[in-house]
Amino acid sequence: MKIGDLVVEPVFDGVMKAPATSFKGTTDEQWAPHRQFLDSDGMLAFALGGFLVRAPGDRLVLVDAGIGARTGAMMGGLGQFSGGELLNSLAAQNVRPRDITDVVFTHLHFDHVGWASQGGMIVFPNATYRCDTRDWEHFRDNDRVQPILAPIADRLTTWDSSGPLCPGIDALSAAGHTPGSTIMVLSSGTSRGLLLGDVVHCPVELLDDEWGGLGDLDPELARRTRNALAREIEGTDTPVAAAHFPGMVFGRLLSANGRRYWVV
Ligand SMILES: [Zn+2]
């Protein structure tokens, strides 16, 4: 995906399989018109990984760092995950860990910070790590991510509100999923694209305001944030993607006859 002078590539780490009804209260009947988002077994196959942004000034920015070399079960009966491919995926794009200049986290859930460190060692030795202050305060002592985050503490730069992060990338605060959840706004010239973090897990959530989210710490705020996003991008030419979208593919939210459509 090219956004002006920015080149954005998905970096796969693994996959997380979950029943479609993980979205609370949804039924097979409700899913019937949305089979495009399910795999051949009728399951949600959430991608795990991050996005590599090649930005001006030789900046190589990794937005989210996958789940890491681990397998297991998500909390809340959300299904099984398997990660471990992120460094191989970067290598396939001719990127070594030491080439990464910035690691930017949309939020600090463990499936987004997995490769921040490994065995107590920083994985991207030349990178500045960046996240929202509110997420750092919320998650720094969390049992699950504390061991992963501790090694980056003295390499961390945090932001407190929406604004520029690095050339071509701006933070757009989007609280609800977590206190510091952030959408990354990619821009170059007149072109613009969005990386949604976990504001949206599956494009189906953008089609209907009533569709429930996943794992939101503040579900009501997350719903308002998600619906505001959908209204903003509906009918525009803005490409959007998120780390858990099937294939991490960019799409657009189109609008016709009072309905929204997801087009890749
Ligand atoms: Zn996630």
For residue 181, pLDDT beyond 70: yes
* Residues 144, 168: Cα–Cα separation, whole Å: 32
For 200-220, the pLDDT digits (tens) are 999 999 998 888 788 899 999
Please give the pLDDT value at position 74: 75
- Residue 57 CA to residue 154 CA, distance in Å, equals 24
Best CA proximity match to 5, nearest among 157, 136, 187: 187
Cα(256) to ligand 1 centroid in Å equals 30
191 pLDDT band, cuts 50/70/90, is very high
**Ligand 1 centroid to 6 CA: how many Å?**
24
Inform me whether the pLDDT recorded for 114 exceeds 70. Answer: yes
Residue 245 Cα to ligand 1 middle (Å):
10
Q: pLDDT per residue over 150-166, tens digit each? A: 999 999 999 999 999 99
CA of 200 to the centre of ligand 1 (A): 9
Return d(Cα 37, Cα 96) in angstroms, integer.
32
In angstroms, what is the span from residue 65 Cα to ligand 1's centroid? Answer: 11
- Better-scored residue on pLDDT, 106 or 208: 106
Instruction: Calculate how far, in angstroms, residue 110's C-alpha sits from the geometric centre of ligand 1.
Output: 8
- What distance in angstroms lies between residue 34's CA and the mean position of ligand 1's atoms? 21
Residue 77: pLDDT band (50, 70, 90) is: low
Centroid of ligand 1 to alpha carbon of 174 (angstroms): 14
* Ligand 1 centroid from CA 113, angstroms: 10
CA–centroid distance, 246 to ligand 1, in Å, is 13
Do 181 and 190 touch, CB atoms closer than 8 A? Answer: no
The rounded mean pLDDT for the chain is: 94
3-class DSSP state for residue 177? Answer: coil
The residues near 98 (Cβ < 8 Å, ≥ 6 apart) are 124, 125, 126
Categorize the per-residue pLDDT at 26 as very low, low, confident or very high, splitting at 50, 70 and 90: confident
pLDDT higher than threshold 90 for residue 51: yes
- For residue 176, which of 211, 139, 219, 209 has the smallest C-alpha distance? 219
Cα–ligand 1 centroid distance for 126 (angstroms): 25
Q: What protein residues have CB closer than 5 angstroms to ion ligand 1?
A: 111, 198
Residue 216: its pLDDT value, please? 93
Task: In whole angstroms, give the CA distance from residue 217 to residue 198.
Answer: 11
Q: Does domain 2-263 have CATH number 3.30.930.10?
A: no
Instruction: Let me know: does 3 contact 186? Beta carbons within 8 Å.
Output: yes
- Percent of residues in the chain assigned helix, strand, coil, to nearest 5: 25, 35, 40
Give yes or no for residue 89 having a pLDDT over 80: yes
Q: What is the mean pLDDT of residues 29-48?
A: 92
Cβ 88 vs Cβ 61: under 8 Å: no
Q: What is the edge-to-edge ordering of all strands in the sheet holding 240-241?
A: 163-166, 169-173, 182-188, 191-195, 240-241
Compute the average pLDDT of residues 8-33. Answer: 91
Q: pTM here? A: 0.96
Tens-digit pLDDT profile for residues 220-241: 999 999 999 999 999 999 999 9
pLDDT of residue 76: 66
CA distance 129 to 131: 7
| pLDDT, position 133 | 98
- Distance from Cα 257 to the centre of ligand 1, integer Å: 32
